[in-house]
Every structure is written in C-alpha cells, then in structure tokens.
Amino acid sequence: MVGDKGAEQAPQGAGDASRLLLELRFPAAAVELQAVRRAVREALAPCCAEQEICCAVLAVNEACMNIIQHAYGEEEQGEIILQIYDAGEALLFRLIDFAEPVDLSRIKSRCLEELRPGGLGVHLMNSVMDECTFLKCPDGVGNVFQMVKKKRMRRNDDVSDT
C-alpha cells in the first residue's frame, strides 16, 4: 500500500533474473503523459495480457500525475525516470524523481463515499497493483516509488471469443 513502511527498505534491485523492459526519462509535465502511456503499453505488449497492460498504464499514469502535482508542484520544473522490469512472475515499476522527499504520513486515499473530483489516484494504484511502496532513496534522488504487479496471464493466454 502507498504510504506503508516501504520507505524504510533499502532499494531492492530488480534481481539477476530480471530484464529491463523500459527506462524512460522525461520532464515532469502532464503533457508528457500520453507518450509515457504509449511507451508503457508498447513495452508490456509482448509479455502481458491486455488487462494487465491496462492496469499498469493506469497505475503508472496516476503515479506520474501525483509526482507532477504533489512532489514537484505546479511551479517547480523536474524530471521523472520510469523503469519497468520483467521479474519473471511479476512486473516491477519504479518511478524516480528529484523533488523534496514526500511526507509518507500525508499519502492516503480519500474516503470513497465523498462525491468530488480527484483524490482517487492512491486508491486506484493500490487496487490495480499488488504492492505500492516508497523505497529508501540513494543520494541525489528525492523519491523512489515502486509498484509490483504479479503476472496472472501471459500474452498468449488471452482468451478470445472469436
């Protein structure tokens, strides 16, 4: 879950058996997110079912938007690095920014009964991913947010009604 004690962990390597599917460095601006979504979709297409791709695109988009709005804020220019690893039974998504470290106690989903726009990103990420944690940051990095999605279907296991 976002905001859990993940920040106390040392950054975990993607592992020896992991394969880097995508590393993308881009300005922290909403206008960049269409290209990010397309890159995530293209990177996952050969190895994931459509449902898993959609969940990953949604979660990455929400995480990027949170970095843009909350870590950097409207006035600050910044950069985001997205890394996606295929770790065999799971996909690992790592988002790195260079903003001030976030206060984990302030990250929480809003009450779902509240009828108002916005504030659902944390809930969506936690719903579609198996793990969402902040990792301990190396020097020079502001925040490292990691999401894990266990693979449930392979691309060739998609069921078709044709």
pLDDT-above-70 percentage for the chain: 75
According to the model, what pLDDT value does residue 161 have? 43
Written as six digits, the tokens of 109 are 């989903």
Reported as a single tens digit per residue, the pLDDT across 55-103 is: 999 999 999 999 999 899 877 789 999 999 999 999 999 999 999 988 7
According to the model, what pLDDT value does residue 30 have? 94
According to the model, what pLDDT value does residue 99 have? 93
- Per-residue pLDDT band for 18 (boundaries 50, 70, 90) equals confident
According to the model, what pLDDT value does residue 85 have? 97
Give every CB contact of residue 127 below 8 A, 6+ residues apart in sequence: none
Q: Is 3 helix (H, G, I), strand (E, B) or coil?
A: coil
Task: Say how far apart CA 157 and CA 56 lie, in whole Å.
Answer: 18
Can you give the residue ranges of every domain in the chain?
A: 5-110+117-157
Residue with more model confidence, 77 or 115 = 77
- Per-chain mean pLDDT for the chain: 82
Task: Specify whether domain 5-110+117-157 bears CATH 3.30.465.10.
Answer: no
Predicted confidence (pLDDT) at residue 40 exceeds the cutoff of 70: yes
Work out the average pLDDT over 112-136. 79
Work out the average pLDDT over 12-39. 88
Predicted confidence (pLDDT) at residue 24 exceeds the cutoff of 90: yes
According to the model, what pLDDT value does residue 6 have? 36
**Residue 125 to residues 27, 74, 128, 135, 159: CA-CA distances in angstroms?**
22, 22, 5, 16, 25
**DSSP letters for 88-132:** SSEEEEEEEE-SPPP-GGG--PPPTT--SSS--HHHHHHHH-SEE
Which residue's structure tokens are 């449930």? 152
Written as six digits, the tokens of 84 are 């996606």
According to the model, what pLDDT value does residue 16 have? 56
Task: Say how far apart CA 101 and CA 123 lie, in whole Å.
Answer: 21
DSSP type of residue 66: H
